[in-house]
Amino acid sequence: MAKIKVLIADDHSLVRQGLIQIISLEDDIEVVGEAGDGEECVQKVKETKPDVVLLDINMPKMNGIKALRKIKDLDKSIKVIILTFHEEIEYLFETFNLGANGYIVKDAESRILIDGIREVNEGVSYVYPTMAEGDQQQLHKLKHFEQPKEMIDHKKISLTKREYEILTLIADGLNNREIANTLFISEKTVKNHVSNIFKKIQVNDRTQAAIYAFRNRIKSV
C-alpha cells in the first residue's frame, strides 16, 4: 500500500525535526520534504507532489495564507493542514474558506496530528477536537461556510494608496522592516500605517490582515 506523502512547512527547524520524528514512527506515512518559508514550501510542493502539506501560518518570505492559495492553485487535490498556535475560531473558518482541509494547534498530542493526516488524506475535514468541541455540526458548517453578512465592505473603507500598498505587502508576509526597505520609508512610518490599517479594517494582527486582503481581493495570489 502506498504511503501518505507529507511535506512539512514551518520556519522553526526544531518544530520540523520534531514532526519528522513523530511521523517516522508510522508505517503508512512518510515525510517527502520540508520547507522553512512559504516560497520554499510552494517550490517543494512542485518538486515532491505531496498528498498532505502541514503548513504553518506565520512564515517569512511568504506567509502560510498566501502559500495555501498557491498550493491550491497548483493542485486542488493536495490536502493542506494548518498547523499553528492560533486557537481562535475565526482563523479556523477563514483558512477553511481559503481552501484548508484541516486545522491543528501545535500543542496537540502527536496522535491528533497522525489522525488528522490520515483523515484529511481520505477527504475528511479535520479540526483539532477541542476547537470543534466534539460537535459534528461545526464540521458541517466548515463544509458550507459562507462569509458572515456583517463582513466589512472594503469598498467603503478609506484606505490611502500607501495603506493599500502596505496591506498587500503584509499579505505577502513581509515584516515592518522589510516593508520599509521595499517602500523606502522608515520602519516607524510603516508601524504607524499598520496601526491605522488594523483600525480601519477592524483586525488585531497581521494574519487577520492578510486573510482580509485575500478574501476581499485586495491582494491576489
**Looking at the whole model, is its pTM more than 0.85?**
no
Q: Which residue has the cell 496530528?
A: 113
pLDDT in tens, 166-208: 998 988 778 899 999 999 999 999 999 999 999 998 888 887 8
Q: Which residue has the cell 453578512?
A: 149
Of 33, 42, 43, 93, nearest to 68 by C-alpha is 42
Domain with CATH 1.10.10.10 in the chain: 161-216
Helix (H) or strand (E) holding 29: strand 29-35
Task: Name the CATH topology of 4-141.
Answer: Rossmann fold (3.40.50)
Side chain identity at residue 69, one-letter code:
R
DSSP 3: P
Does 122 score more than 90 pLDDT?
Answer: yes
Q: How far apart are CA 170 and CA 86, in angstroms?
A: 18
pLDDT in tens, 65-120: 889 989 999 999 999 999 988 777 777 777 888 889 999 988 889 999 999 999 99
Answer whether CATH 1.10.10.10 is correct for domain 161-216. yes
For the chain, how are helix, strand and coil distributed in percent, rounded to 5? 50, 15, 35
Identify whether the C-beta of residue 50 lies closer than 8 Å to the C-beta of residue 33.
yes
Determine whether 164 is exposed, middle or buried from the number of CB atoms within 10 Å of its CB (0-12, 13-18, 19+).
Answer: middle
Domain with CATH 3.40.50.2300 in the chain: 4-141
Q: Which residue has the cell 473558518?
A: 93
